[in-house]
Structure 1
């Protein structure tokens, strides 16, 4: 199964933080919706999913949503998984060929740490943020991982998308 990590980053490389004061760039969100529909699924952490729901980010009725969380309290309309491997096994069993990782940073870092990401999609938003979360390949030691630029395209509104394949 091909696993794609999708994220919006600030121009200085941090995860772009969104809130009611600084909502996500519409062009980036529209790209996420398009990728989720193409994959037929997305995997997300509980906090990120709860924030999506609270902000009205819906419209995913025909998409399999897997929420990874250590909190196993049921959530309506989603599959709960305790680990990246469990999430991928569930989607594979459902017949999906691609899994889309929606966020957040802890989830992305967990998948990267276990070598479970095949492709990266970074939407670079035209903002600078003084504080932010970052991607880490390995939390214990520095690792070098080659990536291959597959595509670079503007999405509009100053958002640029970089798509990378992760090298072996």
Structure 2
């Protein structure tokens, strides 16, 4: 049985924060209708499953309509979820156990969405195959760090792209 590929596709500030001290995301570049999507549409078309933490789930719920309709989503939480869209499942199992279940269900490509604790758990378990990190031209100074507390991980650069607004996207695979 082949495990699905797991890709961390995420944006950070230059100083490794995925959110401000209050969890805010207002510092992120805001995509404009018909404007640059930083490769999101192509990436999204290639995944079949999303994994995220409860805080990220709640934040996405606050955006309005569920943006991931039609994609299976697993939310790491120990509490029941509220307003659960179709295809969204709460889970409290270990990341490796979920990945095994996804493999048995025929899933092929998992997007590890966030937040920090969920990402760190998957990194600590050695389950992330690729990293697509969009570095926004912003220094927050403090906030929620993406890579705090994870072990060293040697990576191999697959691609990099610079956008006109100063965002730099780095695509790595485990070395």
TM class by shorter chain equals 0.7 to 0.9
Tell me whether 1:136 sits opposite 2:136 in the alignment.
Answer: no
Which range is displaced more, 5-14 or 57-66?
57-66
- CA RMSD, Structure 1 to Structure 2 (Å): 2.5
Out of 35, 49, 74, the residue aligned to residue 41 of structure 1 is: 49
The runs of 5 or more residues in structure 2 that have no matched partner are none
In the superposition, the TM-score normalised over structure 1's length comes to 0.82
Equivalent positions of 1:1-150 (< 5 A) are 1-17=4-20, 19=24, 22=26, 24-27=28-31, 31-32=39-40, 34-56=42-64, 58-73=66-81, 75-77=84-86, 78-82=88-92, 83-134=94-145, 135-136=147-148, 138=150, 143-150=151-158
Question: Aligned to 1:152, what secondary structure does the other structure show?
Answer: strand
Per the normalisation by structure 2, the TM-score is: 0.79
- Cα 1:3–1:48, aligned 2, differ >3 Å: closer, same or farther? same
Q: CA deviation at 1:159?
A: 1.6
Identify which of 137, 157, 169 aligns with 1:161. 169
> Which has the larger displacement, 58-67 or 81-90?
81-90
Structure number having the greater helix percentage = 1
The 10-residue stretch of structure 1 (111-120 or 69-78) with the greater mean CA deviation from structure 2: 69-78
Preserved CA contact (<8 Å) 1:10 1:125: yes
Contact 2:66 2:85 in 1 (8 A): no
Question: Is contact 2:27-2:138 (8 Å) kept?
Answer: no
Classify the secondary structure of the residue corresponding to 1:151: strand
Q: Which runs of 5+ in 1 are unaligned?
A: none
SS of 2:17 mapped into structure 1:
coil
Superposition deviation, residue 19 in structure 1: 3.5
Contact 1:147/1:164, CA 8 A, preserved across alignment: yes
